[in-house]
Structure formats: structure tokens, C-alpha cells
């Protein structure tokens, strides 16, 4: 389809503002723009139709199955959108006087209380704008804690090799050296490997539990105990919180701080890549290190990780969601997320290998390695062929410890019918690949595009439109 710039017609426009009712003020010559930007010149109907056409080339979770492991693609309730759109939230200036923003404060306080209860933490900040941003905040809490105690020898953060890439990247942004430890064969933390690296230089450990292969680490108390014994702190990556809400709490596992992805666990829409929100919780002894805003809170001696109070309207959606679910709905969501994952895993069993054949949490990993040996088809080929069925593929090639990984997370908002259909699709792809691997290798066959040339995109990057001469 055409780019919006290719639909632009000189002189066409939307009349949005009308005439100015005061005199214009002249901008001194030295500050004036030399030529107009090449923005599209369009009527409103042109714009509307262009974006509607683009929208038809997008797959959202509210449109179809989206089992993208570790991303918790659950249904995003529409009522949450309505609430976030209320003038009483959307129309509020972040620097309005305190007595005019009591409702906003109530949202922050109430959501903070609820999320502390769910996570087992004592205090919460909503300044982080995403999960990775929350990790950054959490590890900065650890850094400030050690710094304040003058414990400057702690220069290392321990990260399992199964971790999300954001964990080591975060530790590096906080000035720490990353110590990767290998996982045990069951994907959990290898206690001996952990003991071997703990010491007076340990600042902390970053961990997801259930871990990135979808297994709850039964040694979790021993893990956090060992880290604390060495003088380090434990950071909980909340990417997989959707498995355990109302069942078990990170705070009770021995973690000192945590981030939660409101755009995963608490059903706020991900908007094609963001905005998210990464609420960060901590135990009382770390509260003094939480971030604040220099301008909004007048806090010049605190850390600050973005402007104002964070992605507030995302928080409004999450609070709406928690209010709807309540004390029964929260654990019900997690329990059914786990049930759906286990059910789907057992329905798919007998086709692609299960990387770990045991009860899983909210997600599970398929290992396509033996199938690849047999047919020549990789996890990528299998993923692409699913697109022809109108299903978003699972997460591919993650975690790194399973080389031909496909990671599925169905979430609690999928029906048994969808899960049964999914298993049928996997079986169909599996069988077809055995007899006609070329067909699967050439997939997708009926998608928006065929497989794109990614090498060309990175070798000779074209990252903006330029007008043809």
C-alpha cells in the first residue's frame, strides 16, 4: 500500500484551527524555519482512510489469538479505555494545584495499595514507563541502598542465562558488571552455580519466578536467602506475575523490590509496542530511594527516571481492571492462565517436543530441534506457517537456553474452543511439514507480505521516506 506521503496533494488540508483572534507576534528572523516540513497535505477523510487501511494490516489481541510467550496478551477490556478517556483524568495538567487533583492522587494511592497487596511489597512508584524502565528503577534502588551504606565493593549483578535481555542491559545501565549463571537442566537456578558467584562483590540478583521457561522455582526461598546472606538484594522481574496473583507473592519469596508490567498482567493495551507502565514496588527499607519529580514534587535529592508521575492514564486503566476483578477475580485470572497453558500444552503434546514435560505455570516452551533434524524446518518456519491460520505466532528463540524454542502463553481470556483449535493448527502444521516441508518453509502464503528481506533492511537501512526527484 502507498505511504501517506504518496497520497499527499499540495494545497489540500483540514481546517482545524480557524482564524487567530489576536495579532500574530513576529518570530525574529534568526529563529525562523527556512522551508516547510514535508508533512502530508490531506483532507480529514484521506487521513481517516489511510489509517483505517493501515489498521486492517494489524493483528491485535482483541482481534484474534496472540499466544506470545512472556508478553501476557490477554483481552484488553474496552471499559478501561472509556475510563482513561474521562476528562477528569485525561484533561488534568500534571502541575495543577494539589486541591484540584485529589482524584488523581486517589488513583495513585489506591492502585499503590492494591498492588502492594498483590505483590507483597510495602511501597510503590508509578513513575517507570515500561517494564525495562521499572527494572532500571528497581536496580537503582539496590544501588542507592549499597551506596548509602558506603558498601562500594558491590559491583556485580547476577542474572541467570535464561533471563530476558532487559535484565543484563539494565544492570549495565546501573553501572554493574553482569554475572551470568547457567540454569539447571530443569531451567531453574542452579544453586551451586549461584553459590559459586556470590560474595562481597554481589550487589544483587535479578530473577523471574516463574522463570522464563514457565516453571516455578521450588528453591526460591533458598535462592533469596543465599543472596541476602552474601549481602546482596533480590530483584523480582514481574514479567510472569500473571501466573501467581492471589496465590503466592514475590514479597513472601524473599524479594526486596519488584516491577510489574501493567500492560501485561493488568490488561492495559500495548498499542503496537507501548505505552506500558512498570509499577515498581519495594520493601519498607528501600522506600526512601523511590523516584520523584523535581518539578511536580519539588524533590531535588531523589532519583527521577522520567518526567512527572509516569504513565498515569495507563495506571487508570489498570486500576479499573483491578477494581473489576477484585479479590476473587485476581486469583481466578492467574489460576485460569495456568490451567489454559497446561491444557494447551497437553493438547499439543505428541507433535512438537515439550522442552520441559511437567506441570507448567502460565506459559510453556516447545522445542523444535528434533523436528528440525527430521524435516529441516526450524522454529521460525513453524511460527510463520501459523500466520496463515490467522494466529499470531508464539515467541521464537527465547529463552536462549532452548535453541529452537517456541514459547506459548495463552492467558486466561482464551476459550477452550480457541485452545482446541490451536492444538489442531499445530498438529496440521506438524503433519504438513513432515510430508511437504517446502510448503511450510515458504509460509506464510496468505499474509500481508511474504517473508521480508531482513538482511537488506539492516545492511542498507532505509529508515525514512524521501521524495522521488
Partner 1 sequence: MNYPTELKYSKTHEWLTMDGDVAVIGISDFAQDALGDVVFINLPEVGDDVFAGEPFGDVESVKAVSDLVSPVTGTVCAINEVLLDAPEALNEDCYEAWIIKVEGVTQTEDLLDATEYEEFCATEE
Partner 2 sequence: MSYVPSTPEQRQEMLRAVGVSDYKELYRDVPADMLLTKPLNLPEGKSELETVRIMTEIAEKNTVFPTILRGAGAYDHYIPAVVRSIPAKEEFLTAYTPYQAEMSQGVLQSIFEYQTMICEITGMDVANASVYDGATASAEAAAMCRDRKRRVTLISGAAHPDVISTVRTYCYGTGDELRIVPAKDGKTDLAALKEMLGDDIASFIGQQPTFYGQFEPAEKIAALVHEAGAMYVMNCNPIALGIMKTPRAFGADVAVGEGQPLGLPMGFGGPYLGFMATTTKYMRKLPGRIVGQTVDSEGERAYVLALQAREQHIRREKASSNICSNEALCALTAAVYLSVMGPDGLAEAARQSMAKAHYLADALTAIPGVSLVYDGPYFHEFVTTLPDKEKVLAALQDAGILGGLPIDEGVLWCATEKVSKADLDRAVEIVKEVLA
Cα distance between residue 144 and residue 417, in whole Å: 50
Interaction of residue 458 with partner 1, rule CB under 8 A:
yes
- Number of shown-chain residues binding partner 1 (CB under 8 A): 5
The footprint of partner 2 on this chain (CB under 8 A) covers a number of residues equal to: 200
263 lies in the site for partner 2, by CB under 8 A = yes
CB of 182: closest distance to partner 2 in angstroms?
Answer: 15
The footprint of partner 2 on residues 63-102 (CB under 8 A) is 63, 66, 68, 71, 73-77, 79, 81-97, 100-102
Phi, psi of 151 (to 5 degrees): -90, 70
263 close to 275: Cβ distance less than 8 angstroms: yes
Shortest Å distance, C-beta 312 to partner 2: 4
Least distance from partner 2 to the Cβ atom of residue 344, Å: 9
User: CA 413 to CA 457: how far, in whole Å?
Assistant: 36
> Is residue 328 part of the contact set for partner 2 (CB under 8 A)?
yes
Of 34, 150, 435, 469, the one binding partner 2 by CB under 8 A: 34
Residue-wise over 409-419: b if at least 16 C-beta within 10 A, else e?
A: bbbbbbeeebb
459 near partner 1 (CB under 8 A): yes
Among 150, 185, 454, 469, binds partner 2 (CB under 8 A): 454
Q: Give the interface segment with partner 2, choosing from 44-52, 227-235, 365-373, 425-433 (CB under 8 A).
A: 44-52
**61 contacts 9 by C-beta, under 8 angstroms:** no
For every residue of 335-348, which 3-state class applies, written as one string? HHHHHHHHHHHHHH
How many other CB atoms sit within 10 Å of the CB of residue 260? 30
Give how far Cα 56 sits from Cα of 50, 63, 171, 316, 447, Å.
Answer: 10, 11, 39, 28, 12
* Residue 186: strand, helix, or coil: coil
- Does residue 58 bind partner 1 (CB under 8 A)? no
Contact assessment for residue 68 and residue 405, using Cβ atoms and an 8 Å cutoff: no
Looking at beta carbons only, is 195 or 327 nearer to partner 2?
A: 327
3-state secondary structure of 123: strand
Cβ atoms within 10 Å, residue 168: 18
183 binds, among partner 2, partner 1, none (CB under 5 to 8 A by kind): none
284 versus 464: smaller Cβ distance to partner 2: 464
Q: Does 125 bind partner 2 (CB under 8 A)?
A: no
Among the listed residues 191, 323, 353, 432, the single contact to partner 2 using CB under 8 A:
323
Residue pointed to by grid coordinates 532487559 = 166
Beta bridge partners of 207: 236
Binding mask 387-416 for partner 1 (x = CB under 8 A): ----------x-------------------
**Considering the rule CB under 8 A, would residue 5 count as an interface residue with partner 2?**
yes
Return the residue of 15, 21, 30, 454 that touches partner 1, per CB under 8 A.
Answer: 454
| Nearer to partner 2 (CB atom), residue 314 or residue 374 | 314
Residues that bind partner 1 (CB under 8 A): 397, 454-455, 458-459
Amino acid at each position: 500500500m502507498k505511504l501517506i506521503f504518496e497520497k499527499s496533494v499540495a494545497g489540500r488540508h483540514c481546517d482545524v484551527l480557524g482564524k487567530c483572534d489576536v495579532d500574530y507576534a513576529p518570530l525574529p528572523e534568526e529563529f525562523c524555519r527556512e522551508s516547510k516540513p514535508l508533512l502530508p497535505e490531506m483532507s480529514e477523510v484521506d487521513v481517516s482512510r489511510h489509517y483505517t487501511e493501515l489498521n486492517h494490516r494489524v493483528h491485535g489481541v482483541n482481534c484474534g489469538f496472540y499466544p506470545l510467550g512472556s508478553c501476557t496478551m490477554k483481552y484488553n477490556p474496552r471499559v478501561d479505555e472509556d475510563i482513561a478517556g474521562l476528562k477528569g483524568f485525561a484533561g488534568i495538567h500534571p502541575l495543577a494545584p494539589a486541591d484540584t487533583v485529589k482524584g488523581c492522587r486517589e488513583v495513585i494511592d489506591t492502585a499503590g495499595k492494591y498492588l502492594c497487596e498483590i505483590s507483597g511489597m510495602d511501597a510503590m512508584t508509578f513513575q517507570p514507563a515500561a517494564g525495562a524502565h521499572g527494572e532500571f528503577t528497581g536496580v537503582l534502588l539496590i544501588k542507592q541502598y549499597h551506596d548509602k551504606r558506603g558498601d562500594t565493593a558491590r559491583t556485580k549483578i547476577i542474572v541467570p542465562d535464561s533471563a530476558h535481555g532487559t535484565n543484563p542491559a539494565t544492570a549495565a545501565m546501573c553501572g554493574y558488571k553482569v554475572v551470568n549463571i547457567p540454569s539447571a537442566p530443569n531451567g531453574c537456578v542452579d544453586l551451586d552455580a549461584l553459590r559459586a558467584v556470590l560474595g562481597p562483590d554481589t550487589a544483587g540478583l535479578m530473577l523471574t519466578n516463574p522463570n522464563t521457561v514457565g516453571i516455578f522455582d521450588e528453591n526460591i526461598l533458598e535462592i533469596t536467602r543465599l543472596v541476602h546472606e552474601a549481602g546482596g538484594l533480590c530483584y523480582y522481574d514481574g514479567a510472569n506475575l500473571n501466573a501467581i496473583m492471589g496465590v503466592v507473592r514475590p514479597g513472601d519469596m524473599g524479594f526486596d523490590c519488584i516491577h510489574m508490567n501493567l500492560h501485561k498482567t493488568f490488561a492495559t493495551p500495548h498499542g503496537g509496542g507501548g505505552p506500558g507502565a512498570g509499577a515498581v514496588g519495594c520493601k519498607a527499607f528501600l522506600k526512601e530511594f523511590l523516584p520523584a519529580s523535581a518539578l511536580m514534587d519539588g524533590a531535588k535529592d531523589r532519583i527521577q527516571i522520567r518526567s512527572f508521575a509516569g504513565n498515569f492514564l495507563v495506571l487508570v486503566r489498570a486500576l479499573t481492571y483491578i477494581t473489576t476483578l477484585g479479590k476473587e477475580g485476581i486469583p481466578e485470572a492467574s489460576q485460569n492462565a495456568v490451567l489454559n497453558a497446561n491444557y494447551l500444552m497437553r493438547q499439543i503434546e505428541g507433535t512438537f517436543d515439550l522442552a520441559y514435560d511437567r506441570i507448567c505455570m502460565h506459559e510453556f516452551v516447545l522445542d523444535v530441534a528434533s523436528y528440525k533434524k527430521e524435516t529441516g524446518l526450524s522454529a521460525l518456519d513453524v511460527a510463520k506457517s501459523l500466520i496463515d491460520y490467522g494466529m499470531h505466532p508464539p515467541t521464537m528463540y527465547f529463552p536462549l537456553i532452548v535453541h529452537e524454542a517456541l514459547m506459548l502463553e495463552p492467558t486466561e481470556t482464551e476459550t477452550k474452543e480457541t485452545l482446541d483449535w490451536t492444538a489442531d493448527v499445530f498438529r496440521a502444521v506438524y503433519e504438513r511439514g513432515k510430508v511437504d516441508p517446502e510448503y511450510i518453509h515458504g509460509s506464510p502464503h496468505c499474509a500481508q507480505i511474504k517473508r521480508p528481506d531482513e538482511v537488506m533492511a539492516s545492511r542498507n537501512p532505509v529508515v525514512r521516506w524521501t521524495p522521488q526527484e
